[in-house]
Amino acid sequence: MADRAPRICGCGYRIAPGARCPCETRRKAEADKTRPSARERGYDTEYQRAAATFLLSHPVCTCGRPAVLVRHKISIRQRPDLRLEPSNWLPGCRSCNARDVQRERRDKKRASATSWAR
Helices H / strands E in the chain, number of each: 3, 4
What digits encode the pLDDT tens for the residues 61-114? 999 999 999 999 998 888 989 989 999 999 999 999 999 989 988 888 887 776
In the prediction, which pLDDT does 111 show? 78
Picking from 14-18, 38-42, 48-52, 111-115, which range would have the lowest pLDDT averaged per residue?
A: 111-115
Please, what's the b/e burial string for 53-67 (b: 16 or more CB within 10 A of its CB; e: otherwise)? eebeebeebeeeeeb
**71 Cβ contact list (under 8 Å, min separation 6):** 89, 90, 91, 92, 96, 97, 100
